[in-house]
Chains A and B, each alone.
Chain A
Amino acid sequence: MSSIGLVTHEIGSLAKTPWRLKALSGAVLNASDLKAAVEWGRCLHIANVERLHALLAKRQGFTLDERAEILRFSSLFATKLLEQAGLDLVWDGEQQRVEMYEYAARRMTGFTFGGHIRSFDNKYYCKGSCVHRPGFERPFHVQEYRQIVEFATKPIKIPLTGAYTMMDWTYDENYSAAVVPGKVDVREQQRKARREFLEDITQRVIYPNIKALYEQGVRYIQLDEPAATTKRDEVHEFIQATKKSIGDMAGKAFFSVHICFSDYRHLFPQLKELQGILDEVHFEYANRDTKELGITPTQRVGYEILHQFKNTSFKVGIGVLDVHTDFIESPELVRDRILYVHKIINDPTRLYISPDCGLRTRTWEVSFQKLKNMVEGRNLAAKALGLL
């Protein structure tokens, strides 16, 4: 970990490499997939890249054991990419998951899947339905952690999708089945159904999964809650679910929450109830910021909401990389974003530096360069603050 504060970490997913995607989906690998595997392997100093090459040379028809080995390599490569970029906290960038929602929902009982829903443009996602009271058969992030711990040389953080987001992104067929449209109390009935659904996901799925990670030795746990502000009237429910999800583990491990592409104003002041439970609160900021250098409020317009954190005990997770563009933020731009935030928070040990969100929509080349610049920008900021 960084001894100077300004801890760097990644937030969520990295893209999946073509060789991993094709091998697991049954598509045929081509020569450029194999070449990319070897080149990235050398770039990341992977010791047994020849083994991966030999494995992928089959190009198609991989057995279950071979697929598992490819998945392990994918996890190894992504973890090493984050380490090579110089991050202080690492994981494998979601290489073992299909994505943050579906991976978890498919491992819960009581869920079914019926097809795809538009997210935006022509992009679709798979949305589940809760048809019975949710539960799970075995903790679904422990194996992932065991895999990463085999090869990570830096502290590991495991993200998992939080209870409120799991509830909000799922159709409810179970709790609201008796709601009659148009009745005088229809809104209250709907609200009650959502509360019951959230309570069950929190107590029966998310808390025990976090507990299982904690018992495995995980000490950095990130709750992904991009839906936290989606329904303005339910911020209280999100806060309560977060408290219950962490429960008796508060203070025993480092807990962060990640929220993005939302109207954060809805979270305040209620969010402050989570002081002493949550360590870090991470939002996306770079997406709303200018690309100009400088540390004035006009230049750093994307970071306005940070004033809300001034008199709190939270560590402040600041997104300094826009994940929706191939624009490579210079180290100087990252530096200025950090220095501006430092002007507000005035404590480098409270600043945690990261991208806005997961980098899954960017190529590895772009992600690697962005992350390396982020670390270099952190170092420039540390120098400017007299920490180096």
Chain B
Amino acid sequence: MNILLPGQYPRSERLVVATRDFDRHRSSEADLKRIQHDDVQQFRELQKDWPYISSGFFHWQDLMRPFSAIVDEIQVGTLLRFYETNTFWRRLDFGAHPKVHVQQLDAWIEEYFLAEGMYSQADPMVLTLPFLYLFRDFSQGIALELVAELLAQIVMKLLSMPNKMLCFFEPTFGWRKLTAEEKAIGRTFIMRLKEHTKQPICLWSCFFCVEHELDFIYALPFDGFGFDFYRNSLSKCMDKFPKDKLLLAGIINTESSLIEPKKNVAAFFQMLHTYLPETQVYITPNGPAELLTREVMDHKVRNMQEII
């Protein structure tokens, strides 16, 4: 069994302060970069020898914002509450004819996904993108079909790099009811991507109970499915779980600073063993790691490493 840390990882207290100082013109960009570099190095050390490592996206402000640097005619708009949390993302406001700057994709990937060159293209990495419904709900002026088109161009470029796993982050299941049309677009999108690549693409849901959407979710040709097990029952998720897929088990609780007690984790593993072999399981946070402080999240990861 391994741990996987998709999405944004929390900045260290040092980086939080350094970023604030830089924004207020109290320090230089070089000072900030040095501390960002340290954060990436420490995070990489935490993930040593893992099958897929994350760059932590330390200079991202949310999962949507980087798209404003690669798609033209996007304005970074108003704050929207990020589901049922006390954090806010900014809506992306699209113009009439958004297009991906194809010539700039390499540089964009280097900056945003490879931590400005601190990771190489060949490194085994987990990359995270917002899935269609989240993307659409945190945008304005763009149809779901066009979201799929833009994302497909970017995904295909990302997965042209070797040794990558892609996680699509999608809390919308359980947040709102999807229409039949939305479901069809989602299904077509994933089918198209899987025709193009053999690298694993996983769905990472969080925050909500998705038990009522499992038939639809399992019919999508993802290579793995992630669930928030503080919102979902393992037995209900596993009853119809496709036996050849990966499970991203969200049991690192990002809504509590309590380090997961060993007996609680052991009780989960005892239930899990009846359903899937360990080789098909990745332990993940049950939501964005950024909802915790760096110190607590590091502690939780180390604790989980010890347990598994």
Contacts and interface: CB of A to CB of B under 8 A. Distances in A.
Contact of A177 (B85, B235, B258): B258
Nearest to A231: B84
B230 A179 contact: yes
Interface stretch (B66-74, B127-135, B187-195, B264-272): B264-272
Nearest to A126: B293
A47 interface: no
Interface centre among B86, B90, B292, by most chain A C-beta atoms within 10 angstroms, is: B86
B293 A117 contact: yes
B232 A182 contact: yes
A178 interface: yes
A325 B215 CA distance: 46
A181 B290 CA distance: 20
Contacts of B251: 181-182
Interface string B226-247: 0001111111110000000000
B255 interface: yes
A262 B81 contact: yes
Interface in A129-187: 129, 168-169, 171-173, 176-187
Given A171-B255, A186-B232, A186-B233, A118 B290 contact: yes
A181 B230 contact: yes
Contacts of B229: 181-182, 186
A126 to B, nearest CB: 9
A114 interface: yes
A181 B253 contact: yes
A120 B256 contact: no
B86 A182 contact: no
A122 interface: yes
B296 A115 contact: yes
Contacts of A169: 86
A180 B264 contact: yes
A173 B257 contact: yes
B87 interface: yes
Interface string B134-165: 00000000000000000000000000000000
B118 interface: no
A115 B230 contact: no
Contacts of B86: 119, 168-169, 227, 230
A184 B233 contact: yes
Nearest to A114: B293
A261 interface: yes
Nearest to A173: B258
B209 A117 contact: no
Nearest to A115: B293
Given A120-B88, A122-B61, A183 B233 contact: yes
A190 B286 CA distance: 14
B23 interface: yes
Interface centre among A124, A168, A178, by most chain B C-beta atoms within 10 angstroms, is: A124
Interface string B74-106: 000001010011111110000000000000000
Given A122-B23, A171-B258, A186 B230 contact: yes
A365 interface: no
B132 to A, nearest CB: 22
A182 B268 contact: yes
A122 B61 CA distance: 7
A119 B87 contact: yes
B57 to A, nearest CB: 12
B90 A171 contact: no
A182 B264 CA distance: 10
A190 B256 CA distance: 11
Contact of B87 (A120, A173, A177, A180): A120
A114 B295 contact: yes
A232 interface: yes
B268 A115 contact: no
Contact of A115 (B258, B267, B295): B295
Interface string A99-119: 000000000000000111111
Interface centre among A173, A177, A181, A231, by most chain B C-beta atoms within 10 angstroms, is: A181
B292 A117 contact: yes
A129 to B, nearest CB: 4
B261 interface: yes
A1 to B, nearest CB: 35
Contact of B257 (A129, A180, A186): A129
A215 interface: no
Interface string B252-290: 010111100100110110011000000000000010001
A163 to B, nearest CB: 16
A65 interface: no
Contacts of A178: 264
Contacts of B290: 117-118
A181 B89 CA distance: 28
Nearest to A193: B256
Interface of B: 10-11, 13, 16, 19-20, 23, 61, 79, 81, 84-90, 209, 229-237, 249-251, 253, 255-258, 261, 264-265, 267-268, 271-272, 286, 290-296
For the complex of A and B, 3 pairs with smallest distance between CB atoms: A115-B293, A182-B234, A181-B229
Interface of A: 114-122, 124, 127, 129, 168-169, 171-173, 176-187, 190, 227, 230-232, 261-262
24 contacts: A114-B257, A115-B294, A115-B295, A116-B293, A118-B87, A119-B88, A120-B61, A120-B87, A120-B90, A121-B61, A122-B23, A129-B258, A173-B256, A179-B264, A181-B230, A181-B250, A181-B264, A181-B265, A182-B235, A184-B233, A186-B233, A187-B231, A190-B230, A231-B84
